Structure 1
Amino acid sequence: MQVTGLKGVGDKQAEKLAKLGLNKVQDLLFHLPHRYQDKTKITPLDQAIIGQEVLIEATIRQQRLTQGRRPTLLVELEDALGHHVGLRFFHFQASQARQFKRGEQVRAYGELRSGLNGFEIVHPQYKVFSSAPPPLDDTLTPVYPTTEGLGQLTLVKLIKQAIALLKQYPLEEGLNQAWLRTWQLPDINQALLTLHQPQPSDDLAQIKRFEHPAQARLVFEELITQQLTLKLMRQQQVKRYAPQLAASRTANALLASLPFELTQAQQRVWQEIIADLKQTQPMQRLVQGDVGSGKTIIAALAALQAADAGYQVAIMAPTEILAEQHRNHFAEWLDPLGIEMAWLNGRLKAAEKRDMLAKISSGEAKIAVGTHALFQDAVTFERLGLVIIDEQHRFGVHQRLSLNQKAHTDEIENFAPHQLTMTATPIPRTLAMTAYGDLDISVIDELPPGRLPVDTAVLGNQKRHEVMAHLYHACKTGVQAYWVCPLIDESELLDAQAAQTTFDEFRQLWPDMRVGLVHGRLKAAEKELIMQQFKAHELDLLVATTVIEVGVNVPNASLMIIENAERLGLSQLHQLRGRVGRGAKKSHCVLLYQPPLSATAKARLQIMRETNDGFVIAEEDLRIRGPGEVLGTRQTGGMTLRIADIQRDQAWIEPAQDYATQLLEQASPGLVALLQQRWIGEKLEYKHA
C-alpha cells in the first residue's frame, strides 16, 4: 500500500515523504525513531543535570516580558522544595503569555540549561494546570528523522496510522523461528511495535543505548538481506561467460625489464589475478594496497595478459590527474613492447577524440585509459575483455555496469569482461565484508624496500610564516615540496588560505623560488605541463588544491605541507601525505591547523602524527566518521543501510553471512524475495550490477 492511501497524504505530502525514502506504508514502519523523549517520570530539580532533557513540575511565581532586539517571555517557576527554574520563549503570542498565571502549576519538558538567572529551559513542551495534574506518559515518546516541510507531529500521526494497520495486517515473518530462539530475538511485528511504542515493561535504558533485542532483530534481518544481495550478485556473475586469458609472454617480458623486483605481496596478488584470468567466469577482484605499494604495475601486467590474448582493456580513473598518471605509467612500460594505447577525457579536441574513438572501436588500441568519458555512448570496443577501475568507490554502481555492457558481443551469450578494481584506501575488515562481499579481495600489505616512513608534525597556523621560510631554505638545498590548500580562491565564508593566495605569497616573498600552481579549474594541458615541470625538477614548489590527492608520483619530492588540515578527513590526509616518501630522501609532512580544534579534528591530527599505517588509519576513520562517510552512499552492495550500522553492529555481520548462505542453500526464493522487497524495495535493479 502506497503512503497516499493514508489519511492526510496527498501528492505534495507524498513528495516530501519520498525524500526520506518513505513511499509505502511499510517504509513508515521501518522509519525508526532516532531518539526518545522520556516523559514517564518527573525529575526533581535538585536531581536534574544541565544538558539533559527532563520533565519537571513546578508552580508559577511570575511571568514577565524582557524588551530588547527581540522580546522574550520569561516564566519563573518554583518547585515544592524551593528550587527555581525559568521557561524562556523567544517566539510567542499574547494568548500564550496569558496562560501563565501566578499560582498555576506547570509540567514542562526540554533541555535544562544554565541561564543568566540559574536553570532554564528554552521553548519547552508544557501543560498548565490548576487542579489534578495530567497523567504521565506510560511509554517513551519517539522522535523521528524528518525533512524540510515535514513536521514531527505530521510524521507521528502517519506512523500511528501505519502501526494501526500493522496490528490489523501483521507482516510476514522473514526469519526462521529456530534462529530467533537461538539469538533470543522477537518476531518482526513485536520488534516494530516495541520500537515505535515502548512499554513500561520494556528496558527503556537498553533502547536508548541501541542494545535492545528489538533493535538487534531489525539489524540482523537487514544485514542478512544485504548479504543475500551480495551473494546473489556474485551468483549472477559466476553464471556469465568471460574469456580465458592464458599467461602472457609480454607480461613476463615487462617483468624482466623492470628496474625493480616485485615485493612478495605483489607477487602473491599477481598470481591470484593470473589464476582468475584463466577461468571462464568473470574475475571480480578488488586489490587494495596502501599508497605507494605498487598496484599500478599489477594492473599493467593484467592488461598485458588480456592484450596478448587478443582482447582490449579499459582502464578508468575518477580524476584527470590520476587518469593521466596511469596513461604515463602505462606508456612508459608498454610503448617499448609495441602495445597501442588510446586516451579519453572530457577535454579532448573534436579531431583528437574522433581519432581515439576510431582506434578503440577498430580494436587498434588494445588499451584505453580515461576518466568517466569511457562511459559515453560514443565509445565502442571491438573486443573488451578486461575492465580495470581505480579508486572504485568514487564510481556509482550504474557507471560500472555501463562499462561492463560495452563488452557485449553477439558471438557469446551472457558475455562479461573480467573486472579488476583497485583502491589506495585501505578498507577495514568489517566494511569489506559488507560493502564488498561480492568481490574477491587481495591486499598488497607490503611497501617496496627502502621506503622510509614520513615524519609528521602538527602545528598551529601562527607558525605558518616560519614553515614557509623553512620550506624556502629547504628548496634551495634541492628539496622539492608540495603545499596543499583546500580552496582555489579566497572565501569570506571559510577561514582557509587559498592556493592562489599562497602561490602569490611565495612569489612575492622569494622571487627566486620556482613555484607552480595546480587546481581543478586549469585546462588539462596547463595542468599536465606544470606536473611535468615539477617532475623534471624545473619547479621547487607545487602549490595545489586536493586535486593531487591520488596518483601523483614525484620521487624527489620529500616535503608536504597541508594547510587547514583540520578540514580534511583522515583518508584524504593519508592520501595527500602519500605523495611524499617515494624516494631515497627522508620525508616530512607538516599539518597546519586553524585553532580552536574540535575534538574530532584533534583526534584525526593525533592519529596522523602517530602512524603511517593505512590500515590503522582506515579503522580510525571508520570509527570517527562511520561507514556512510567513509564509503559514500553508492557503495553498500546496492543498498543503503537504514537501521544497521557497520561499526556498531559488526558482531551481527558473520551470523548474517551464515544465515544468508543457509537461505540460498535451502533454495528459498519466496523468502529471499520477501526480504529484498522489504529492505531494498524499488532499488532491486542494483543487484544486477
Structure 2
Amino acid sequence: MSLSTATTLKLTNLKGVGEKLVEKLNKIGVFQPLDLLFHLPYRYQDRTRIAPIGGLRFGQAVVVEAEVRAAQVVFGKRRSLVVRVQDGTGTLTLRFFHFSAAQKNQFVAGNRVRCYGEVRTGSTGYEMYHPEYKLLNTVAASPLENSLTPLYPTTEGLNQTRIRLLVDQVLPHVRQLPDYVPEVLLQKFQLPTLAQAVQELHHPSTDTRLDLFEQGQHPAQRRLALEELLAHNLSLKQLKQQAQLEPAVAMPLQGHHVEALKARLPFQLTGAQLRVFTELSADMCRRVPMMRLVQGDVGSGKTMVAVLAALQAVENGFQCALMVPTEILAEQHFNNIRQLVNPLGLGVAWLVGKHNKKIREQQLAEVADGRAAIVVGTHALFQESVHFHRLGLIIIDEQHRFGVHQRLALREKGQSSGQIPHQLIMTATPIPRTLTMSAYADLDCSIIDELPPGRKPVVTTTISDQRRADVIARVASACQSGRQVYWVCTLIEESEELQCQAAEDTAADLALALPQLRIGLVHGRMKAAQKAEVMERFKSGELHLLVATTVIEVGVDVPNASVMIIENPERLGLAQLHQLRGRVGRGDQESFCVLVYGASLSQQGKERLQVMKETNDGFKIAEKDLELRGPGEVLGTRQTGLMQFKVADLQRDAGMLDDVQWLAEQLLTYYPENVEPVIKRWIPDGEKYGKV
C-alpha cells in the first residue's frame, strides 16, 4: 500500500475493519487510514525490561516475572483472589477482585508468571490490583516488548490492542508522508522530520526518556506541535487575507458628530482612548473590512471608543450594530448611548428577546428605514426579521461570551449592497499574548492600557466563611453610610439550578440578619424583565444590597456600589473574579472586594486568591489564569472547540509561538502551495474559524 493508495483507501480496506468498527473509529476522529498516523498516544508503558521485586517503588508501572508461591481466596470487605509471588529479590501480592474458579486454578505453586501493573501499598506490603499477566511454560518463553507500549485515546468497544494493530498496518508507509515544512526551514529548529517524529511517537525506542514525553518536551512532540500550531495560525491568517479581498466602504472621518460628542463630554479622554480611536478611524478609512480586537481592562473606557467609531460610520451615512451577551447589558448600553447621541439628533434602537410584539415591530421599523443610526442588541440581531437600512460597522462586545463561529455572522446583514461591514471586537477580559497570537491571529489588536485619572484601585481582601458574621456586619456598615453592596453566589457543581437556589437561600438569610436593609435578588432563571426591574431598582438606589449569581459579571454600572462580596471565589477563574470585582470602584469613593472562601481551599485556590489581593492589573491576572487553568477555560467554555489541539498545548508551547509566526510568514511568502495542505492535515474538516 503506497501513500497515494492510502489516501484513497477506506477504513474497511484495513484488515479486520468492518462497518461497526468504522463507527467506533469515527468517534475518535479517524475517518481514513492516514488519520491513524495522527491518532497519537497519550501515554507510554515500559514493558521492555523486567523489574526486580526487591527494587520496586510505590506508583511504578512495571513488568515483573516471578514464581507463584501461594494462591487463596480471601473474604474481607470484598472477596478477593490473593496470589503471592517471589523472584529471589522479594515478594509481591497480586490481588484480583473479579475472578473465576478457572483463573484461581491457574495459579499453581511453582508456576512462573509475568505480569504488568501499577505498584500499590497494601496490607501485605507491595501489591498489584488486577495486573495484566501471562503464565510462562519456560523461562525463555514470550520475548519482552522491544519498544515502549503506546496507550491511545479510545472509546467503548475499541481496545488498545485493536488500535495498535490498525496503526501498525499504516505505520510502514509513514516515510511517504509529505513534509510541508521544508527542510531548509526545519533546520532552524533542530527538530526531526515529520516521518521521524510520527514513527517515534507510535514506537518510541527503548532508550527514550519517558519524562520528556510526560512533559511534552520530546523532540518528536515538539515537531508535531510546531506544525499543528502553524496550521491553526495559517488558517486564521488565511481567513484575514480572504476578508481583505472583499470590498468594504471607505468611511473617512468627517468629524462633525465625533467632535460634537467630544465637546459635550464632562471629562477628557485618556491618551490610550485617543490612540485606539485613531487606529480604528484609520482602519475605517480603508476599502478593506476592518477586523480589529480592542482589549481594555475593566473601567478603561472601551464603550466610549466604540461610540466614537460608531459616529464615524454614521457620519458617512451608515448604521452601526452593537451586539452584547446579555439583555441587562444591552439595556444599559442602549440607555447610555442614547444619552450621548440623542443630543446630536441621532436615533438609537435596541433589540432583545423580552420586547412585546408592538415594541419589537416599532424597533424593527426604525432599524429598517434608517431612523436608528445605532442598534444595540443581543443574539436577537441575528434573526431573519432584522433588516438594516445600511449597516456599515459591527461592534461585538465581550467576544469571548459568543461562540467562535459567530464572529462573522452579522456580516451577512450588511452584504445587501455588496459591501462588507467593518468589524470591531471588544473585550474587557484581557487576553494573554499567547492566546492573542493563536486564537485571534485573524484580527489586528489594540489595547487601551490606561485607566481614567482619579480612578481608585479596588482593595481586595480574603476571609474565611467561618467569619460570615463579620462580613455581614461590614455589609451593614457600608449600607448605613449610604453605599450599596453586591453579594455574589458562585457556580455550584456546574448546576444553574443549584446556583440560583443558593442565591435565593442567601438572600433569605441576609434578609433575616439585616432586616433594616432593602435586598434584591437576580439570578439566571428569572425572566429578563424581572432581572431588569431589580437591576433598575438597585441602580436608582432603592435597594441597598443586591444578591446575585455571576449574571452581573459583565457591564453592570452602579457608581454608588462600593463593596463586592464573592462567596466561594475558588470556584471561578481569575479573569471572571476580576470582571466581578470591576462592578465596584466605578465612583469616586474607596471600594472593596471581599473574597469569602470555604474550608477546603486547595493550594491552587490559595494561589489564585493571592493574585487577586496583589494586583488589579487585568493582563497580569489573565496570564496567571492561563497558567493555572489553561486556554479553553480562559477563552470561555463555548470557545474550547477553538483550542482542541492533538499535540500542542498553548500554555506549555508558548515559547514556540514567535517561531510559528515566522514560519507562517515564510510559507505564505515562499511556499504558498504548502499552506492549504498543512491546514487540511490538522484541521481536516476544512472549517475555518469565524465562519458560521
Write the deviation string for residues 384-438 of structure 1: whole angstroms up to 9, x where unpaired.
Answer: 100000111222343232211111124x4xx211100001111111111111111
1:677 aligns to 2:680 (yes or no): yes
Determine if contact 1:499/1:544 at 8 Å carries over to the other structure. yes
How does the TM-score come out when normalised to structure 1? Answer: 0.93
1:362 aligns to 2:366 (yes or no): no
CA distance in 1, matches of 2:246, 2:472: 57
Quickly say closer, same or farther: Cα 1:263–1:212, change in 2 above 3 A: same
Quickly say closer, same or farther: Cα 1:92–1:627, change in 2 above 3 A: same
Secondary structure, counterpart of 2:372 in structure 1 = coil
CA distance in 1, matches of 2:353, 2:168: 51
AA partner of residue 214 (structure 1) = A
Pick the aligned partner of 2:56 from 19, 33, 48. 48
Q: CA deviation at 1:612?
A: 1.6
Secondary structure, counterpart of 1:456 in structure 2 = strand
Quickly say closer, same or farther: Cα 1:681–1:49, change in 2 above 3 A: same
Determine if contact 1:59/1:77 at 8 Å carries over to the other structure. yes
CA distance in 2, matches of 1:250, 1:496: 44
Quickly say closer, same or farther: Cα 1:455–1:666, change in 2 above 3 A: same
Greater shift, 206-215 or 293-302, is seen at 206-215
Match of 1:298 in 2: 305
1:313 aligns to 2:317 (yes or no): no
Determine if contact 1:638/1:687 at 8 Å carries over to the other structure. no
Quickly say closer, same or farther: Cα 1:455–1:373, change in 2 above 3 A: same
Pick the aligned partner of 1:617 from 602, 621, 629. 621
Match of 1:641 in 2: 645
Greater shift, 233-242 or 659-668, is seen at 659-668
CA distance in 2, matches of 1:249, 1:40: 78
Q: CA deviation at 1:685?
A: 4.4
Q: CA deviation at 1:95?
A: 2.1
How does the TM-score come out when normalised to structure 2? Answer: 0.93
Determine if contact 2:490/2:499 at 8 Å carries over to the other structure. no
CA distance in 1, matches of 2:226, 2:411: 33
Q: CA deviation at 1:352?
A: 2.0
AA partner of residue 216 (structure 1) = R
Pick the aligned partner of 2:389 from 382, 386, 391. 382
Quickly say closer, same or farther: Cα 1:19–1:555, change in 2 above 3 A: farther
Determine if contact 2:407/2:690 at 8 Å carries over to the other structure. no
Match of 1:277 in 2: 284
Match of 1:578 in 2: 582
Quickly say closer, same or farther: Cα 1:573–1:47, change in 2 above 3 A: farther
Match of 1:244 in 2: 250
Match of 1:407 in 2: 414
Greater shift, 486-495 or 98-107, is seen at 486-495
CA distance in 2, matches of 1:261, 1:222: 46
Determine if contact 2:500/2:525 at 8 Å carries over to the other structure. no
CA distance in 1, matches of 2:330, 2:581: 20
Write the deviation string for residues 486-528 of structure 1: whole angstroms up to 9, x where unpaired.
Answer: 2599989979970000011111222221100001121222111
Determine if contact 2:290/2:424 at 8 Å carries over to the other structure. yes
How do 1:492-641 residues align onto structure 2 when only pairs under 5 Å count? 498-632=502-636, 640-641=644-645
CA distance in 2, matches of 1:684, 1:490: 30
Pick the aligned partner of 2:264 from 257, 260, 274. 257
CA distance in 1, matches of 2:496, 2:275: 51
CA distance in 1, matches of 2:599, 2:161: 41
CA distance in 2, matches of 1:438, 1:76: 62
Determine if contact 1:481/1:542 at 8 Å carries over to the other structure. yes
CA distance in 1, matches of 2:279, 2:105: 78
1:105 aligns to 2:116 (yes or no): no
1:194 aligns to 2:197 (yes or no): no
1:418 aligns to 2:399 (yes or no): no
Q: CA deviation at 1:638?
A: 6.2
How do 1:57-136 residues align onto structure 2 when only pairs under 5 Å count? 57-68=65-76, 70-81=78-89, 83-133=90-140, 134-136=142-144
CA distance in 1, matches of 2:269, 2:508: 43
Match of 1:218 in 2: 224
Secondary structure, counterpart of 1:50 in structure 2 = coil
Determine if contact 2:292/2:444 at 8 Å carries over to the other structure. yes
Greater shift, 463-472 or 287-296, is seen at 463-472
Determine if contact 1:73/1:97 at 8 Å carries over to the other structure. yes
Determine if contact 1:436/1:637 at 8 Å carries over to the other structure. no
Q: CA deviation at 1:65?
A: 2.1
AA partner of residue 309 (structure 1) = N
Q: CA deviation at 1:636?
A: 8.3
Quickly say closer, same or farther: Cα 1:557–1:688, change in 2 above 3 A: closer
User: What RMSD, in angstroms, separates the aligned Cα atoms of the two structures?
Assistant: 2.5
1:158 aligns to 2:166 (yes or no): yes
Match of 1:372 in 2: 379
Q: CA deviation at 1:137?
A: 1.6
Aligned length: 682
Determine if contact 1:35/1:208 at 8 Å carries over to the other structure. yes
Determine if contact 2:573/2:634 at 8 Å carries over to the other structure. no
1:138 aligns to 2:149 (yes or no): no
Match of 1:24 in 2: 32
Match of 1:345 in 2: 352
CA distance in 1, matches of 2:455, 2:13: 64
Gaps of at least 5 residues in structure 1 are none
CA distance in 2, matches of 1:92, 1:579: 60
Q: CA deviation at 1:569?
A: 1.3
CA distance in 1, matches of 2:451, 2:532: 28
How do 1:650-689 residues align onto structure 2 when only pairs under 5 Å count? 650-666=654-670, 668-669=672-673, 671-686=674-689
Match of 2:4 in 1: none
Secondary structure, counterpart of 2:424 in structure 1 = strand
AA partner of residue 455 (structure 1) = V
AA partner of residue 432 (structure 1) = T
CA distance in 1, matches of 2:305, 2:641: 25
Match of 2:480 in 1: 476
CA distance in 2, matches of 1:455, 1:641: 39
CA distance in 2, matches of 1:280, 1:326: 29
Q: CA deviation at 1:106?
A: 2.9
Quickly say closer, same or farther: Cα 1:488–1:319, change in 2 above 3 A: farther
Write the deviation string for residues 57-116 of structure 1: whole angstroms up to 9, x where unpaired.
Answer: 3332322223355422222233312x3332222222222222222233333222222223
- Percent of pairs with identical residues: 52
Quickly say closer, same or farther: Cα 1:495–1:283, change in 2 above 3 A: closer
